[in-house]
Structure formats: C-alpha cells, structure tokens
Structure 1
Amino acid sequence: MSPKSDHRVESTPSPAQLEARTKQEAVHPEDLIARISTIDRAYQASPPDGGPRAWCQVLAGHLIVFNTWGYMISFGIFQPHYAEMLSMDPSAIAWIGSVQICLVFLVGTFAGRAFDAGYYKAALVIGTLLQLVGIATTSVAREYWQVFLAQGICQGLGCGIVFAPTVANVSTYFSKKKSIAISISACGGATGGMVFPLMAQQLLPKVGFAWAVRAMGLVVLVSSVIVYLLVRPRLPPRKSGPIVEMAAFKESTYLLFAISMFFTLWAAYFAYYYARAYALNVLGGSQSTSFTMLLVINAVGIPGRLIPAFIADRYFGAVNTFIPAIFCAAVCMFGWIGVRDIPADYAWLCIYGFFAATIQGMFPSTLAGLTKDLSKAGTRIGMIFSIVSVSALTGPPLAGKLIEVNGGKYLGVQIWGGSCLVLGGLLLMGARRASKRDEDTKQ
C-alpha cells in the first residue's frame, strides 16, 4: 500500500471507537425529557411579559370585564325603571345590584381554584350561559323577586364564574407589565359602562325595556364567543390542593391587604349607584343631565385605570401607586359634601371617577403581585374576592339606608364613605410595611 492509503486506513475509527463515540454523543430519551421539562419549568416560572398570545389574553380580559363589570356598574340605568315598575324604595332596589356584585366576588374562591385545576374554558361556557339566561329572564321580569333572581342571582353567579379566572389568566402572562396589562383588561368596565347605558338611552324609548335588555344580551353573547376563541391558559393544571389555602392568611401582608380591600370597596362603589339620584333629587337636575353624569363617571374610568397602571409599572410599583389613590378618593368623598350645583357635580364626578377607577384597576393587579407561585394565582385571588364580596353586598344598601334615615340628605353617607376609604388606605400602608419587613427578614 502507498503511504496515502496507509494513512486513510489508520484514520478510520474502529467499531469499538465508533460505539464509544456513539454512546458519548447519543441523546437518551430520559435526557431529552429532562431538558424539555427544564425549559418548560423555566417558561412557567418566567412569564413572557408580552407577545401576541399574551396581549390576546388582555383583549379577552377586557371583553370579559366589559360583559361583567361594564354591565353591572351601569345598574343606574335600570333604577328609574325599577322604581316605577316595582314601586320599591331605593335601598330595596339597590340590593339587586349589590347582590350581583357580591356574587361576582363570592364565587371567586371556587372559580379561581377551577382555573388552577385547568377548567378555565369550562368555566367560561357555564358562566356565559348563566349571564345570558339572567339577561333573558330580566327582560320578562315584572315582580321584585323575579328581577332579584334574574339580575341579582343568575347574572351575578355567571359574572363571578368568568371574572376571577380571567384576572388570574392575565396575571400569569406578565411580570413587569402586570399592572398595565390587568388595568387594560379592567378598562372593559369603563367601556361597557358607556356602551350599555348608551344602548339603553337609544333603545328604551323606541323598543321598550324588554327588547333593550335583549339587545344588550346579544352584545354579551358576541363578545363572549370572541373571548372563548382567544383565551389560552399558560400554566399546566394543578389538580391537587385545597379550594381555600388557609396558610395564605398567616402572611401578614396578605391578611392586611384583604382587610384593607374590605373597607376600601365597601365605600368605593355606591357613588356609581347614587350619582344620578343625587343630581336629580338634591341638585334638581334633569333626567338627561343625570344620565350624562353616569356616562361621565364611567368615561373617566379609562384614564383612571391606564395612567396609574403605567406609573406603577414604570416608576413606583403597584402598592405605592394604590395607596395615594385611595387617599385621594377619600378626599373626594369628603369633598362631595360641598357640591351644591350641577357644574360642581360634573367636576366632582370627573375627579372621583378617576380615583375610583384607579382603585378598581389597581386592586386586582396589586393582589396578583402578592402571589409568587403562579400555579396558585386563581385560588389566592379568588379568596380575597370572596372576602370583599361582603363589602360589595352590604355597601350600596347601607348607603341607601343612611340616605333614607337622614331624610334624603347625603351628609351621613359621604362621611361614612370617606372614613372607610381612609381606613382602607391606612391598612394598605400596614400591608406595605409588613411586606418590606418580610423581605428584610429573608435577606
């Protein structure tokens, strides 16, 4: 053989060498699975914080809040009709709306745990069906108990089943942009709070109450179909675990936050119910003026949710933005005492509506930030939702009763509302201090 041929033969690996090299370079199935699992865990631990799929969840969240809170905080459009049809006092009518809001929060514990267990889409279907049944039966209701069951109970349950899981779903896609993402979703309350009253204003004189409500139901149906097509839960199901995680209440930050939100939301919502009545009965405004005020307090909710959320994500953090917003809302509530004419009432509605919307937007985003283990996001968010359901249930009727026992005067309810907001802000300051202490202890 030539030297060249000898060199070729000597450089050829032997079967033993080939086998050794193959074993060394082979990727075993268990190694591949381990690598994939590691990548999957890393993805789960680190939300994408953006991207088409993540922002689609925000859009879906916006539509869900549009259908739920947008419809509910428009309750003022139904109050004059119910007062005439049912011949009931304002506090009795307020129970319909307050029970509806209460159930949205109350079923949060169970709906949130269902989200963690992987039943988000099933919850969407069940909740949407209950909403639509409630709207359809509201359109034909003629007695107080019928309206209470249809709008208060049925719609309240349906809205609650879809709301808490949606907040949890959005929160799993974002970390640094969590406040702005959840607040964009929460803006659905403001857009719905304008769309549904405008529909009612145009349709009630032309087709009557029943068909106006059915038209609103059609809007809910179409947007719910879009939601179902958009939502994609990011985390794998967590099948095991309790419905209520009692260990969370051993965390002083979580406990103080829950109590703070009880008092804050006890007072925050009743102005949406009684803004029209105040303009009509105290200031002597017209029906059209009072209706415009309902649109105003909902319209300012868009910047009221987005601007503070941007500030929270970019500069100060959620809780540091939330605390001054609560105190500003308290100052506005006390300032309501000095409103004596329609122009001043418009100005007050713009300012209070801004900070009340900030409360509604920062509440879920701050709450979502209290949960480090995203697999428990639905459960822990739902638990506090259930706690504040009591304040949502009792707040508006209590406000109505305070107005009634004071002969239609609002001074007592204004002082009560402002005091509750101050207490809520102080408790949230305590939660922030507890959180900082816990962080210092870990270090």
Structure 2
Amino acid sequence: MASTDKESAPTESILPPEEGVQGWICVVGGFLGLFGTFGFLNAVGVFQSIYEETSLKNYNSSEVSWIFAVQICLMWAGGPLWGRIIDTYGAAPVLYPCSLLCVFSLCMTSLADEYYQIFLAQGLGFGIGAGGVFTTSMVCVGQWFVKRRGLAVGIASCGSSFGGVIFPIFLNKVIEDVGFYGAVRYTALFVGVLLASACLMVRARVPRKTWNRKTPWFDVTLFKQKQFALLTVGTYLVMFVTTGLDAADKVYGSAASIPGRIIPPYLADHIGHFNVLTTCSLMTGGSMLVLWLPFNFHPSHAGIIVFALVYGFVSGAVVSLVMPCVAKSGSIETLGQRFGTFQLVISVSCLTGLPLMGGILSRQGGTDFSGLQIFAAVASLLGAGFLVCSTHLLSQSRGNWRV
C-alpha cells in the first residue's frame, strides 16, 4: 500500500482526511446501495422459476436467462461512463438518477407480461440503474480509504450478500400473500427506501473538477501494464464462473459470503490484496473439484451445503477484493476511470457466463452437472493462474511480497 499512498500524496493536502466519520458513513451508504441492487440480483432464481411457469412458459430456460444475463452485464458495462462522471463531478449525478431508474424499472416490471416488456424493464432498465449505483458505491468507498481499503470495500460489498439472503425469502413470503406482481411492487418500495438512504450517505472524497474532453472513456493504455492486463484476464475468467454459476444453495452461499467479504479483505490489508485474491481464486476452483463434483455421482444434500458454504466464502472474497486490486494501479483521482475500464471487460464475462453454463447443463439433460462442474472449475483455476502471474510481476516491481 505504500506506493498507493505515494501516488495519491500530491493532492493529499486538498482532500478531506482519510476514513473519518464521513468515510464510514459512505461505507454504510455503499452497503445499502449494494443491498438494493446487487443483492436484489441474487433473487434471479425466484424470477426465472416464476417466469418459466407463467408469463414466459413458451420460452426455454436459456432464452429466459438472457434477461438476467443482460441485467448482470449492465451492472458492469456502464463503468467507463459512470466512472468518468464520478471522477469529475462526484457521486450525485450518477447515484440519484440511477436510483430512480431502479425503482421505476421494478414498477414497470410489475406491469409487464410479455418477453420484450420484461427484458426492457428488468433486464435493461434495472441493469443500467443498478450499474450506476454499484459503481458509485465502490468508487466512493475506495476514495475514502487507502490503508484499510480492503476492509472498507469488503464491508460495503456485504450488502449484496445480505440481499442474496433477504430478497429470495422476502419475495417468496410476500408472493404467498399478494401474488407475484404485488410482491414486485413491494420490492420496488423496499429497494426505494434502501437507495434513498444510500443517496444521503454516499459522498465522493475527491473535489469536483472541470470536464476534460481529452480523457479517454476506455483507457486502453492501462493494459500496457502487464500486471493490470493479467489481473483483468484472470478476474474475467473467475467472474465468468461466479456470475454464471448458481451455487447449490443460494441462501447458504450468500450467507457464507458475508464473512468472506470481511475476513479475507481484512487480512489483505496486511498481507497484500493480490495475494489474498489469488489464493481465494485458487480455492474457488478447487472447491468445485473437491467439494462439488463428487456429489454429482454420490448425491448428498449435506455435502452440497458444505460446498455452498465454502464456495460462498471464497467467491465473496474475490468480488470484494477486485476494487482494492484495481486501485493499486494508479491514483485516487482516476480511480473511477480505471475501475470503469476494468468493468467494461468484466461485463462481457457476465453477459456470456449464465447462458453458456445453462447451455452446458441443458446439453446434459438438466440433471448431470459434471460438465458444468468441470468447465467452471477449469475456468476458475485458469483465471487463478493469470492472477498468480500478475501477483508475481507486481511483487517483483515493488520488491515486496505484500502486494
């Protein structure tokens, strides 16, 4: 972290103090923002099941899954636009309209019964809005913290894990009382309260500046840095798995990812974010081979729960450590632009992961998971290999193993 401190030192005198009350308020706001956006996306299983049984019963699983693949992709794809705006004007120009778009999209979803209507409202509308809230939350929390950035981002990202536990339970309970469309309207209200609170709490640390037309939207020059390029490729492959894979029990996995988003990032602040990210990526692939693949041949509900807990813990750590690793490649003032460039690449992974894995499962009759398990494990381990190379190069360039 020493180099990060040096890189941000020239403007340190004009920035508010690191962390402080406002910094931790921003963490709480980021937690609520991710709770209402990324957390809600963890309820896709509920929506897919209902759509396949009701309004979209004439479409196959792969076609329905494209709605959610686009939704998840747009969580990342808008990064270059959102990041540049945040770097220049702060949080409000992105956070406020995107929060409104999320609530509006859910209200429109409650009125939709055709494929194109659901695609536009829940896929495009909510995906774009959620992407703005996600990017703002991650970038602003990253600006307020340097020495304990891993812990701060990890706590904020726990919001998505809490959402992954709460929203499926909330939807299933409310659907029993008021039906599916009524439950979506209550969800819109719930999300609206969460995002309104986030709008009051999330603030940028970096002061506003003049818009620079010469600044590139997608900074290709960043990939000239070998460690950043390898980090991006490695994360692409690992995220390809974590976004496309519906863990055996989503509730158990989401619950386990809560400590996974706090404990490893806390350790990473002391022994290096790249080191812990690489280790958790290796464990993600290893857990699929050791704890999931065997139960395809010898079914065990208890075994699947164990896998979900382990996988949820290590994959949660991967998601929360991405921002601190990207942040190490430059200064606080350009954090939004760099994270946005990174996000656009990862969005392609998110777009293709869910449909491709659904296609693999369909080819095997929907009951044999071995092909899916092997593919996911190999992709994750290959991604971890790229991260090993990135970590090695960075440690060599800094002369320190704590990277």
Measured in 2, the distance between the counterparts of 1:229 and 1:77 equals 30
Name 1:419's counterpart in structure 2. 378
**How many Å separate the matches in 2 of 1:48 and 1:76?**
43
1:26 match: none
Query: C-alpha separation between the residues in 2 aligned to 1:406 and 1:113?
Result: 44
Contact 1:130/1:158 (8 A) holds in 2: yes
Match for 1:405 among 363, 380, 386? 363
Q: Does 1:218 align with 2:176?
A: no
Matched, 1:118 2:74: no
> 1:440 deviation in Å?
4.9
Stretch deviating more after TM superposition (94-103 or 83-92):
83-92
Match of 2:52 in 1: 83
Q: What is aligned with 2:342?
A: 384
Write out aligned runs for 1:301-340 (5 A): 301-314=257-270, 316-335=271-290, 336-339=292-295, 340=299
In the alignment, is the contact (CA less than 8 A) between 2:90 and 2:207 conserved in 1? no
For these two proteins, the number of residue pairs brought into alignment is 382
Contact 1:104 1:159 (8 Å CA) reproduced: yes
Relative to the length of structure 2, the TM-score reads: 0.91
Shift of 1:185: 0.5
- Helix, strand or coil for the counterpart of 1:247? helix
Q: Is the 8 A contact 2:85 2:94 kept in 1?
A: yes
Matched residue, 1:36: none
Q: Which residue of 1 aligns with 2:235?
A: 261
Structure 2 CA distance for aligned equivalents of residues 138 and 334 of structure 1: 38
| Aligned mates of 1:103, 1:332 — CA distance in 2 | 28
What amino acid does structure 2 have at the position aligned with 1:435?
L
Gaps of 5+ in 2: 1-8
Structure-2 separation of matches of 1:78 and 1:42: 47
Q: Distance in 1 between matches of 2:278 and 2:267?
A: 13
SS in structure 2 at match of 1:237: coil
- Alpha-carbon offset, residue 41 of structure 1: 3.1
- For 1:131-190, what per-residue CA distance to the aligned partner results, in whole angstroms no more than 9, with x for missing partners? 112111111211222211111111000011221122111111111100000000100011
Percent identity over the alignment? 30
Structure 1 CA distance, aligned partners of 2:262 and 2:359? 34
Shift of 1:438: 2.9
1:78 is paired with a residue whose SS is helix
Equivalent of 1:68 in 22, 37, 43: 37
Letter in 2 for 1:295: V
1:179 to 136, 150, 173: 150
| 1:250 correspondence with 2:219 | no
Structure-2 separation of matches of 1:125 and 1:206 = 32
Q: Summarize the Cα distance change of 1:407–1:215 in structure 2 as closer, same or farther, 3 Å threshold.
A: same
| 1:304 to 1:440, Cα distance in 2 relative to 1, 3 A | closer
- Distance in 1, matches of 2:266 and 2:345, equals 28
Q: Distance in 2 between matches of 1:334 and 1:92?
A: 29
Amino acid at match of 1:207: V
Find runs of 4+ consecutive structure 1 residues off by over 4 angstroms. none
Q: 2:120 aligns with which of 134, 145, 149?
A: 149
Deviation per CA, 1:234-273: give whole Å up to 9, x if none. Answer: 112342222222221111111111111111111112333x
TM-score, reference length from structure 1: 0.83
Q: Residue 396 in 1 paired to residue 354 in 2?
A: yes
Measured after TM superposition, the shift of residue 202 of structure 1 is: 1.1
- How has the CA–CA distance of structure 1 residues 205 and 380 changed in structure 2, closer, same or farther, with 3 Å as cutoff? same
Q: Which residue of 1 aligns with 2:393?
A: 434
Per-residue Cα deviation, 1:387-441 (whole angstroms, up to 9, x for no partner): 0000000001000000111222211111110011111111011111222333359
- Paired with 2:27 and 2:14, the residues of 1 have a C-alpha distance of 18
Code of the aligned partner of 2:353 = G
Q: 2-side partners of 1:41 and 1:394: how far apart? A: 40
Number of the residue aligned with 2:325: 366
2:11 counterpart residue number: 41
Letter in 2 for 1:358: A
Write the distance in 2 (CA, Å) between the matches of 1:360 and 1:42.
Answer: 28
Could you give the per-residue CA deviations for residues 71-96 of structure 1, whole angstroms, max 9, x where no partner exists?
01221121210110111322222211
- Given that 2:90 and 2:204 are in contact with CA atoms closer than 8 Å, whether structure 1 keeps it comes out as no
* 1:34 alignment counterpart: none
Aligned residue for 2:218, secondary structure, equals coil
Structure 1 CA distance for aligned equivalents of residues 122 and 83 of structure 2: 22
Matched residue of 2:204: which SS? coil
Q: Distance in 1 between matches of 2:351 and 2:161?
A: 21
Unmatched runs of 5 consecutive residues or more in structure 1: 1-38, 276-292
Separation (CA, whole Å) in 2 of partners of 1:164 and 1:49: 20
Q: Contact conserved, 1:112 with 1:165, CA < 8 A, in 2?
A: yes
